[in-house]
Each structure stands twice: as structure tokens, then as C-alpha cells.
Amino acid sequence: MPAPASLIVLGLGGVSSSFLQIHAKTAALQSKFLISALANSRFSLLAPKQIPAVDVSAWVTAHPDRKPLDVLSLLSAVQADSRGPVIVVDNSSSPDLAALYPAILKSGASVCTPNKKSTSSSLKLYEEILAAAEGDKAGLYYGESTVGAGLPILSTLKELVATRDEILKVEGVLSGTRES
């Protein structure tokens, strides 16, 4: 059996709280994915082995060794300790974190994110992410956003293109939240 993947969870709001609760309640996920680090805009910490990842506030309180957020240093520490692949799960909406994806991918770690900043901020960043995800030692990039009442539009379009369907037009009434 392959070694479990080590997860670095970025952003500790509602999405990450739900993610961590699902992970904690699902034995199949726990056997394949270890929570190795948590971070938000104020701090980062490596996972203490004795505290489950369900209650983020308890985890943070019980782990006094938290440090200011430095994603690339945190990534290096997790990669040095991991026997399996490393996956950065960015549940934030931070453009600063999205800008780090090329470096994360080049290090061999993968990125899984609903953070729209990686694909909607600049074409240059998007192209850098795609280029960084190429090659034998590069990590994988999985980004997904939802529009239209939570329908997975991006993955659906990607599958249509991959199966050589010709997309003539995409129409719809879109709504979303506006960030300040």
C-alpha cells in the first residue's frame, strides 16, 4: 500500500472547517490523506500528532509552536517529513497564496483549490501555473470553481473539450459574491 499523502491546509475559515470535519469522520480519507500542516493569513503550524484535526481552535491553542505564515518554508518542512506525496489544499481566496502555486508545483507538491484567484487574476499567472504543472517531477494542479447555482462548470467544459466535443457557445445568467 502506498504511503498516505500529506496535506497542507491553507485558509481556516468555513470551507476548511467543513473539509477537516469530513476528513476526521471518514476513515477511508484518513488512511489516504494525513493532515500535516494548517495555516491562515496570521500563522502556520505543523500538525501535532496527538490532537485530531476536527477542532481547529483546539489544535491551534494546544500547539504553541505556530509561526508567521511562510508557505514555502512550511512546504519544505512537510516534504522533508513525508513519505508520500504532498498536496497543498488552498481553501482561501487569497491572491498572494495563488501567486505561490507555480513555486509549489515546481517543488513537486500538488495543489487542489477552489481559490478563483489562480485562474481569474491574470493570464500570466494562469500560464505560469500550467507551465509549472508540466514535467515528470512537477506537482498536479486541480482547481475548480462553481457558477450557476453551484454547477461544476469548469470540469464539465474541460471534459467536453477532452472528448473532442465542439463548444459553440456558453450562455447563462451568472451570479456570485463580490469581494471588497
Domains in the chain: boundaries: 5-146
Q: Which residue has the higher pLDDT, 41 or 165?
A: 165
* Grid cell in block for residue 5: 499523502
The whole-chain average pLDDT of the chain stands at 83
The tens digit of pLDDT for each residue in 32-89 reads 998 888 888 888 888 766 555 556 666 667 666 777 788 999 999 999 988 899 999 9
Of 17, 113, 20, 27, nearest to 71 by C-alpha is: 113
Under CATH, which architecture does the 5-146 domain have?
3-Layer(aba) Sandwich (3.40)
Average pLDDT over residues 13-28: 84
Q: Are 42 and 70 in contact (CB under 8 A)?
A: no
